[in-house]
Amino acid sequence: MPARVLIIEDNQDNLELMAYLLAAFGHETLGVPGGEEGLAAAARGSLDLILCDIQLPAMSGYEVVRQIKGDPRLQRVPVVAVTAYAMVGDRDKIMSAGFDGYLAKPIIPEKFIEQVEAFLPAGQRSAPREIPPSAPAEAAPLPRMKRATILLVDDSPANLSVARSILEPFGYDVPIAGGVEEALRSARQTRPDLV
Ligand code: MN
């Protein structure tokens, strides 16, 4: 069962990246750029998780979590701070403000889903990865199924990183190339099924 995740983040790039990664793993997302909108959305919806930036215009993340944890209808929803201020001492300040945990920016696509899903009940996490279905005990060992090789070609390292982080957990081999020459060299070596 997918989770419903509210993202409160005033940086549009961060918001889009988080929403994109969560959606890629089957979760429903709602993104808002400020605390007021976040509280309104939280009051409306049956949410499973809230990701909240600390530094927001008008209302800080600290105020957002204070209001959510002070509301008996909402206080069970985990609220995770997403903040660049990962300095010594901030962890205590964040946790004592009522947050259930925090993720440090910059967001690392390869780690983000696992970090976020740690705050969800097991039934709402995306399908287990890298665990092949177990064969019946009597059956002869099956040859390990090889997934397709997908060669990614993009001159933006961020795009390569996002796409690779989404495909690899599903078992695909994902060579990457930043340009045409590199792509041709890699294609000859890796014999991709898809470019
Ligand atoms: Mn911010």
How much is the pLDDT for 110? 85
Going from the Cα of 51 to the center of ligand 1, the distance in angstroms, rounded, reads: 12
Going from the Cα of 12 to the center of ligand 1, the distance in angstroms, rounded, reads: 9
Going from the Cα of 104 to the center of ligand 1, the distance in angstroms, rounded, reads: 12
Going from the Cα of 30 to the center of ligand 1, the distance in angstroms, rounded, reads: 17
Going from the Cα of 83 to the center of ligand 1, the distance in angstroms, rounded, reads: 8
Going from the Cα of 40 to the center of ligand 1, the distance in angstroms, rounded, reads: 18
- The pLDDT averaged over each successive group of 10 residues in the chain (195 residues) is 94 94 94 97 93 94 96 95 74 90 88 93 74 46 66 90 82 90 92 92
How much is the pLDDT for 146? 67
Place of tokens 């920016």: 105
pTM to 2 decimals?
0.69
Going from the Cα of 8 to the center of ligand 1, the distance in angstroms, rounded, reads: 9
How much is the pLDDT for 137? 46
Task: Give, rounded to a whole angstrom, the gap between the first and last alpha carbons of the chain.
Answer: 31
The amino acid at 141? P
Going from the Cα of 113 to the center of ligand 1, the distance in angstroms, rounded, reads: 20
Rounded CA gap, 119 and 60, in Å? 22
Going from the Cα of 159 to the center of ligand 1, the distance in angstroms, rounded, reads: 22
Instruction: Give residues with Cβ within 8 angstroms of 150, minimum separation 6.
Output: 167, 172, 173, 174, 192, 193, 194, 195
Strands (E), the chain: 4-8, 28-32, 49-53, 79-83, 101-104, 152-153, 176-177
Going from the Cα of 179 to the center of ligand 1, the distance in angstroms, rounded, reads: 33
